[in-house]
Each structure stands twice: as C-alpha cells, then as structure tokens.
Amino acid sequence: MSGLAGILLRRDDRSAVAADIQRMLARLHHRARDGSSWWTDAGVALGNAWFNTTDEPGPGPLTMAAGKLAATADCRLDNRDELAARLGLSDGSTGDTMLVMQAYLRWGEDCPSYLQGDFAFAIWDGERRALFCARDHFGVKPFYYHSSGERFAFASEIGPILALEGVGTGLSEHQISGFLAGLPDDPQSTHYADIFRLPARHSLTAMEGRLTLRCYWQLQASPRPPRADAAEEFAHLFSRSVQNRMRGTPAAGAMLSGGLDSSSIACVAAERKPGLRTFSLVFEKGSPMDEKPFIDAVLDQRPVDGTLIGVGDYAPFAEFERILEEQEGTFLAPGLSLTRSIYRTAGAKGVKVLLDGHGGDEVVSQGHGLLHELADAGRWTELWRELRGASATYGEGMLAMYCKFLARYGPARRIAKLKGRSNRALARLLGRPPQPREPAWGGLVNPDLARRTDLADRFHRAGAMPGGVSANEALTHRWILSSGLVPHAFEVLDKAAANFGVEPRYPFWDKPLVEFCLALPGEEKLRNGFGRYVLRRAMEGVLPPVVQWRRDKIDFTANLVKGMLGNHRELLDKVLVCDGGRIAPYVNLPEVTAAYARLLRQPDRASPRDVQYVWRSTSLSLWLRQIQHSGSVA
C-alpha cells in the first residue's frame, strides 16, 4: 500500500521535476504513513510514499551502479530466495526493491518474468536515458500514467497526475459507457481521456519521447505434471501463499466472512499465528445475509481474536462523496461501503496487512465449464448430478438448467439450428434484418453514447463466455481469469484500504497456485455438485465441516435494495427524477426511471437488472455532480 510517483521530462530541468514530484507526493500523503522521499536528476524524478508493513527501514527511491540506476517500487516479492540464488546474492536481508534492481541489471527488460509477487515499479536507466516500468501478473498493485510530447508522469493513483500543470481533466465517454454496461474491457483507459493505466502483466518503457508497451507473461496452465493427489499439492501451494503474504509482518489480520475462501485463509493463517485477528461483518440474525453460524464455527475451532462488526441499518450511499474522491471516479462494487467498514476497524486496531479471500471463485473455479463438457459428450446422468452446485450458485432450478443444456447440446440442437436458419431466411425474404438479443445493458446506456463508443462491438470483443460445443472447463476458467473485472477489483480495494492504513493481500492470487489450478481437470473443480472441489478436499481437518461443505453463497441484492430505498429515497428521487438531466447524455433516462418505479412498487421482487440500473445511474450522477461543483477532481 505504499505509493510511487515519477516524472520524466524531455529537457534537463532539475528544479521543475523537483517541484512536480513534491506536488505529486502531497497527493499521496495517505499512503505515506511512514514518510515520503524523492530522488532527482536532470529531467527525471522518482518519489515514494512509504507504508511500513515489516518494521524495516523505509527504502524510498534507491540508487545503485554508481548512481546510473534509480528505482521506486511498491512491491512484495514471494520468490526472494530463488531470485537471490539466481542473482548470486548471499545476503538474505536484501530488500525487495534492491532485488528488482539487481534483476534488471541481470535480465534487463525481461526481469518482470523472473519475479513473483505483487509489484509496481519504475527504474531509471541513466545510461540508456530510459524509464522502465512494470506491473505484476494480475494487477494487484496499481500503476497510472500520462504522456505528452514533453513529459511522462506516473503514479499509484490518478490524483497525483491530475495535480500536474497541463494534464487535461476531460472525461472519457468510452470509460463511462463501459461502467454503465458493467464492462471494464479496456485495460488501459481510465475515466480521464489523458490518463491511462499500465495493464497487468505488462511493462512499459519511456525513451526519447516514445512509449513501448510489452506483455511479459501469458496466463497459462502449469507445465509441471501434478502430484498424484491434487488436494495435497493444492494445500502445499496454498499454505505457502498464505505464509508469503504474512512474511515479516507482525501486524497481520484476516477477513472472515464465513464463506469457504476467507475461512480457509483464516484457518491456515491461524495455524502459523495463534491469536490472529479476524474481522467479520455480522448481519441481523435470521436475515438472508446472516453468516454468523459459519463465522462462529471457525471462531470456536481456531485460536483467533475475532472482531464482529455489526451491520444494522445498511446505507449504501453513506459517505459516498468521500468514496468517490477515494476512487477517483465510478466503480463496479455496490458493497464497497461494507468493505470499507472492515478496513476502518482493522486499521483502528493496528492491523496493517489484511488477508482477503477475494478471488477464490475465479482462481480455484467452480468448475461450471465441466457442465458443457458433460453435455457435449452426452453424459446426461452425470450432468444432472453436477448441476446441483451450479443451481445453488445461480439460484436457478436444476430442471430448468438441465433443459437449457438439452436444448443446446441435445437432439433439439439440430432442430434449433434449422429453425434459426429458417427465421433468417424469412427475415431476408421480407426485407427485415434479424433482431439480435438485447444485452443486459441495452436498456441502460443512452443509444447515442453506445454508438459513439462502439459499445456493442466492444461487448462482443470482450467475449461472452465461451459457448457452443467448443466450450470446456479449461477455456471457461482462462476466460474468467482474463476478465477486466480482475484488475478493476484490485484497484478499487487498493484505493479504499489505503485511506485506512491497511494493505489487502490475496493468497488465492499467487502465480504458482493460479497456474496449478488452470492445469487441473474439470473433475477436480466440480464433483458431486460441489464447486472448488480441490480446495474443499485440501481443507479436510482444517475447516469446520459445516463451512468446508457448504453449497450456498450469499446474495446481497435484497440488502442493497432495502438500503437504497430505506435510507436514500430522497436522494434517489432527486438524482434520478429531479436532476435526471445530468445523466441523460449517458443513460436511457426513461428506462432508468421505469426501473426505479418497479423497485418502489415491488422491492421484494426486484430484478438484478433493475437494481444495477438504479445503482449505476445514481453513482454516475453523484460523481458528475462532484466534478461539476469542484470544477476539477479534488
């Protein structure tokens, strides 16, 4: 949760870059809880806002090789011993930033492919007059940049870049339409037309006014043959990942929701650190969101120091102005205010590192791609058995899902194909083009905005989940892990946690563990209706059985509707009805007001689509109002 910033000018002006880097670091003060520092040379400056999670001296920007190299980083390396051995370093106390610099000296711009962990860094190479930057494999650490003919600037957040003179504050319609559609499809664009993000698993070189972007790693399965017992190997990799994220960190805690993922992390971490502090949200007893029986099962079995955070009258738009300032724009996380309450409580109790179960579904996989494999192979009895888990996840009846697979893969598929061809032929004969099925965002986004930003084509290119007879678990799993929602979620959580002095760490997002899970056959991910089967087996004797074998997942939609209508009715009336003109250029206002009316009429039967229409439209309106009132981003 440290912060980094830097400036590279095409002219030699030490005083100008010194002033700019100090201005940028001032906007990262919330990350500099243990101080900030900067380094300058002719036309270049690097800065570091430091948050100490290891009780070691702060690195700041480092230099080496007779001052020819300088670096700033926000990183935690997991393969330190292996890396030091390959570099011929015997001193195990070498800091992570120095290891990154040594790796650059040895392997040049190929160095990120030798690193494991969470990192964002920039290295100034004085001999080449080049600035080399890189971001980790999954985008856990953020990295934003701006480039013009005379200047290249970067930072861990957008605000420090906007603080520079001459950086435009024009909004990106492309990003706004993507937000409304729930489609973070562009790994580079941000809410601001002149500011970009470095994509996950990419490096960037700024040299002589040119930028070179390069992908240094592809998401792929592990080439190593798995052990005979996949659960045993998973347990080993998972335990090592948890340990790596607790390395040198006395002030570590863990989220504990009562779900399979966070409970697995908390139990494994507690084995290494008795008295581990855990933090749990507790909803009203008997409500659909009540997870306390599962939380209590973990607390009763493990020696942890549990903190229960009561969620009473939930107000999703409380402190929203502040949240928008933190996030520097809109975001796809309606429950963020709840997560912030965990960060706030953990930070107040002195916890600096918080282990988070985010990503268990994606990394381990529910195995639902196996359902397509079974249907395509005509293994209908096995398909019926495995549908139980998917039915619990998606809230749809097993029979209805089974019939859909029959229609898609069974004998009726040929009939459906013939019917489709007949309908298209009839449409051509009558001079009418066939009407495509409207996507989920079709009624929300203003048609003019959708057309200007090529939203339909973008949605298609982003890829619906692999379909047809070619769909299988390997393709589905890789597609999920490649989604733009992955780095988007990390950026949202990073910004929220930074304001409370907490650094989230994610044991599931460990490179060897991800590669291992991608290599597993579908039967190790879904068996007897239980998704993430290999994780459940690996946690035998570690998790309470009631948590280990639970099937259900909490749906927070009803809680969101209750909170919006119960606590923000006046706000919704104002932004969606009275001030609807503010968002009219971006949303299909009649559809939004109709969705709002349906929520008011039947809140207990609210559709997920209507809830998203209202939440995203309100979020966009509040952000636009904030920008209009300030004249710029605060």
Q: Same structural domain for residues 162 and 192?
A: yes
CA distances (Å), origin 464, targets 207, 471, 491:
38, 11, 23
Q: Same structural domain for residues 374 and 522?
A: yes
Report if residue 167 sits inside a domain.
yes
pLDDT-derived band at 173, boundaries 50, 70, 90: very high
Report if residue 118 sits inside a domain.
yes
- Distance, CA of 169 to CA of 633 (rounded, Å): 8
Task: Judge contact between 14 and 131, C-beta under 8 A.
Answer: no
Work out how many domains the chain is built from and give that number.
3
Q: Same structural domain for residues 264 and 362?
A: yes
pLDDT at 57: 58
Report if residue 466 sits inside a domain.
no
- Domain end (from 188, 215, 242): 215
- Distance, CA of 619 to CA of 313 (rounded, Å): 20
pLDDT-derived band at 448, boundaries 50, 70, 90: very high
pLDDT per position as a tens digit, 374-419: 998 899 999 998 988 788 776 678 888 898 888 888 876 655 555 5
Q: Same structural domain for residues 239 and 200?
A: no
Domain holding 126, by residue range, is 3-215
pLDDT at 1: 81
Report if residue 78 sits inside a domain.
yes
Report if residue 477 sits inside a domain.
no
Q: Same structural domain for residues 511 and 562?
A: no
Q: Same structural domain for residues 200 and 339?
A: no
Q: Same structural domain for residues 192 and 147?
A: yes
Q: Same structural domain for residues 207 and 316?
A: no
pLDDT per position as a tens digit, 38-78: 999 989 999 999 998 875 656 678 888 777 899 999 999 99
Q: Same structural domain for residues 153 and 264?
A: no
Report if residue 482 sits inside a domain.
no
Q: Same structural domain for residues 521 and 591?
A: no
pLDDT at 462: 74
Q: Same structural domain for residues 228 and 376?
A: yes
Q: Same structural domain for residues 414 and 351?
A: yes
Please, what is the average pLDDT of the chain?
89
Report if residue 489 sits inside a domain.
no
pLDDT at 435: 46
- Domain end (from 515, 531, 552): 552
- Domain end (from 163, 183, 215): 215
pLDDT-derived band at 439, boundaries 50, 70, 90: low
Report if residue 454 sits inside a domain.
no
- Indicate which CATH number applies to the domain containing 260: 3.40.50.620
pLDDT at 92: 67
- Distance, CA of 1 to CA of 50 (rounded, Å): 8
**Which of 296-300's residues contact partners 24+ apart within 8 Å by CB, and which partners?**
297/258, 297/544, 297/546, 297/547, 298/256, 298/258, 298/263, 298/266, 298/267, 298/543, 298/544, 298/547, 299/256, 300/544
pLDDT at 128: 93
Instruction: Kindly state the percentage of the chain with pLDDT values over 70.
Output: 92
pLDDT at 561 over 90: yes
pLDDT at 507 over 80: yes
pLDDT per position as a tens digit, 4-49: 999 999 887 878 899 999 999 999 999 999 999 999 998 999 999 9
Strand 36-41 relative to strand 44-49, pairing = antiparallel
- Indicate which CATH number applies to the domain containing 165: 3.60.20.10
Query: What's the token pair of residue 182?
Result: 């729930």
